[in-house]
Amino acid sequence: MSVENNAVKSMIEAGRAVLGIEFGSTRIKAVLIGEDNAPIASGSYDWENDYVDGIWTYSLEKIHKGLQDCYKSLVEDVKAQYGTGIKKLGAIGFSAMMHGYMAFDKEGQLLVPFRTWRNTITEQASEELTKLFAYHIPQRWSIAHLYQAILNKEEHVKDITFFTTLAGYIHWKLTGQKVLGVGEASGMFPIDITSGQFNKKMIASFDEVTASYGFDWKLADIMPGVLTAGEDAGKLTAEGATFLDVSGELEAGIPLCPPEGDAGTGMAATNSVKVRTGNVSAGTSVFGMIVLEKELSKVHEEIDLVTTPNGHLVAMAHCNNCTSDLNAWVNIFKEFAESFGIDVDMNKLFGTLYNKALEGDADCGGLLAYNYFSGEHIVGMEEGRPLFVRTANAKFSLANFMRVNLFASLGVLKTGLDILFKEEGVEVDEILGHGGLFKTKGVGQKILAAAINTPVSVMETAGEGGAWGIALLASYMIHKEAGEELDEFLNRAVFAGEKGSRIEPDAKDVAGFDAFIERYTKGLPIERAAIDFLK
């Protein structure tokens, strides 16, 4: 074993390593970090949601098995690399996909199957609560699920003593503490930014409109407490330790940080928790988050409001579609090459085609594309039909074709972010990009910079993901200096000396994307017609 690995082994055995586990939609991932906050081991567990009686869900059995198998996978990685096990840890953090609905009775029993963020069954509640609060309440938020259950007169509602999110449930299961980090809580119910707690005025409004149902509970009684990054969120109980580590090796008493959502952990992992920063995650779907200096002037149904893990207001434009159609076109080129007997390296193919886009006309030569595999609420489409459209005199070349499909992958995102930049006057100093769109060096980054007319940076650690992000939040809790804010800790202890690339927006590209988005917006009736007539 190397000297370096021996040092890591000693640090693990001394109980100074920090663990983060995140429940994603298709994978649960564990990341163990050392005292320099760099990953030293990892584990994972693949899973899929189930569609049961019209509800997207994961059973408690799946959740429990996924957690235990993921942790076991991590322990096996530690043993393989360092020849030791895990008995103690410096801290632990749990995170999960945000939103959704888990409701429990006084015995702690789950009353109805977990309703995930993916469910779009709360339209009436979303609309009524948005009007009641004068604050946009998306369908996937926990409060929308609760209110819809009330409107539906579901029998279980009267028996609720606690409701929470998946991250909140895991944390409660292992610590006994009914709490959430403020970022995760902000996807459950609106946060009062001045207090960092659930908005009391809106809670009172909710209680008023539900009073006639005669429930024994008030809303504040059944919601978790709200904590800010760095605060103590309890300790691993003896029962929690044996539940997480079925081998019985892990000791109780390990401190836990507030449980967070995947939006907050993404912000931590990309060092974009400071005011006037933001990040764009671009893969199968794409979302952009901007940390705001002040409240928005009015409600925008296209924009969700959440918070950073340390309580700053964040505006989010969330889009369902990004690279799926682009990938489908690349696969067409793969088939074409293989039909000539050419063995295709996919990384080289993506790189070649993406770079070809940089040779195209700034405005894509008049071409038009929509990448909608599924609906996009920002542009009012409840379903999707991928389309490529051109006029007879458009400049139809490979470069323009690739360029328009790259532009289209960010079209809805630009539509949403333009509300912030052009209508609300939001200012941002830098955007951090992460996800599959940025794998080909410089291309997706340059296109995004053109779309939002803002410098875009991509860091080498951008691929580490949310499990690393929640591990960093756990590390912050135990390693922060007196009075040190989260962004200061990240800059000092995590990202100091971080290598990355920054691309400034090119004026010609910015003008080209603006011309494209004008064509894109005017052409939306084409997409609407495709949805209406192509079944």
Is there a contact between 363 and 515 (Cβ–Cβ < 8 Å)? yes
Residue 231 φ/ψ, nearest 5 degrees:
-80, 155
Domain boundaries, the chain: 271-465+499-535
- The predicted model gives 343-358 an average pLDDT of 96
Position 520 scores a pLDDT of: 98
Position 463 scores a pLDDT of: 60
Q: 271-465+499-535 has which CATH code?
A: 3.30.420.40
Is there a contact between 150 and 213 (Cβ–Cβ < 8 Å)? yes
Position 188 scores a pLDDT of: 98
Residues in the chain: 535
pLDDT exceeds cutoff 80 at 499: no
User: The tokens 């972010």 sit on which residue?
Assistant: 417
pLDDT exceeds cutoff 70 at 462: no
Instruction: Give the pairing of strands 374-376 and 381-383.
Output: antiparallel
Position 397 scores a pLDDT of: 98
pLDDT > 90 fraction of the chain, expressed in percent and rounded: 89
**18 contacts: CB under 8 Å, gap ≥ 6:** 32, 33, 37, 89, 90, 91, 92, 93, 471, 474, 475, 478
Coil, helix or strand for 134? coil
Is there a contact between 20 and 472 (Cβ–Cβ < 8 Å)? yes
Mean pLDDT of the chain: 95
- The predicted model gives 404-428 an average pLDDT of 96
By the 10 Å C-beta count (0-12 exposed, 13-18 middle, 19+ buried), 514 is classed as middle
Instruction: Give the pairing of strands 39-46 and 191-192.
Output: unpaired
**504 contacts: CB under 8 Å, gap ≥ 6:** 449, 455
Position 500 scores a pLDDT of: 80
Q: What is the DSSP letter of 390?
A: -
Q: What is the DSSP letter of 435?
A: S
Predicted confidence (pLDDT) per residue in 431-442, tens digit: 998 888 888 989
User: The tokens 């902000």 sit on which residue?
Assistant: 186
**DSSP β-bridge partners for residue 41:** 32
Position 312 scores a pLDDT of: 96
Instruction: Give the pairing of strands 225-227 and 286-291.
Output: unpaired
pLDDT exceeds cutoff 70 at 1: no
Lookup: tokens for 392: 């007879």
pLDDT band at 201 (very low <50, low <70, confident <90, very high): very high
The CA distance from 214 to 211, in Å, is 6
Coil, helix or strand for 286? strand
Is there a contact between 35 and 24 (Cβ–Cβ < 8 Å)? no
Sheet strands side by side (includes 286-291): 304-307, 313-319, 286-291, 277-282, 430-434, 456-459, 500-503
pLDDT > 70 fraction of the chain, expressed in percent and rounded: 99
pLDDT band at 25 (very low <50, low <70, confident <90, very high): confident
- The predicted model gives 42-63 an average pLDDT of 95
The CA distance from 474 to 309, in Å, is 11
CB atoms within 10 A of CB 301: 15
Residue 391 φ/ψ, nearest 5 degrees:
-90, 165
The CA distance from 400 to 419, in Å, is 27
pLDDT band at 535 (very low <50, low <70, confident <90, very high): confident
Concatenated DSSP letters of 444-457:
HHHHHHHHHTS-EE
Predicted confidence (pLDDT) per residue in 55-85, tens digit: 999 999 999 999 999 999 999 999 999 999 9
Predicted confidence (pLDDT) per residue in 110-159, tens digit: 999 999 988 889 999 999 999 999 999 999 999 999 999 999 999 999 99
Displacement of CA 365 from its chain's centroid (Å): 34
Query: Could you give the count of Cα atoms lying within 13 Å of 298 in the half-sphere of its Cβ?
Result: 5
By the 10 Å C-beta count (0-12 exposed, 13-18 middle, 19+ buried), 312 is classed as buried
Predicted confidence (pLDDT) per residue in 373-397, tens digit: 988 989 999 889 999 999 999 999 9
Is there a contact between 427 and 393 (Cβ–Cβ < 8 Å)? no
Displacement of CA 302 from its chain's centroid (Å): 17
Concatenated DSSP letters of 31-66:
EEE-TTS-EEEEEEEE---EEETTEEE--HHHHHHH
Residue type, 153: K
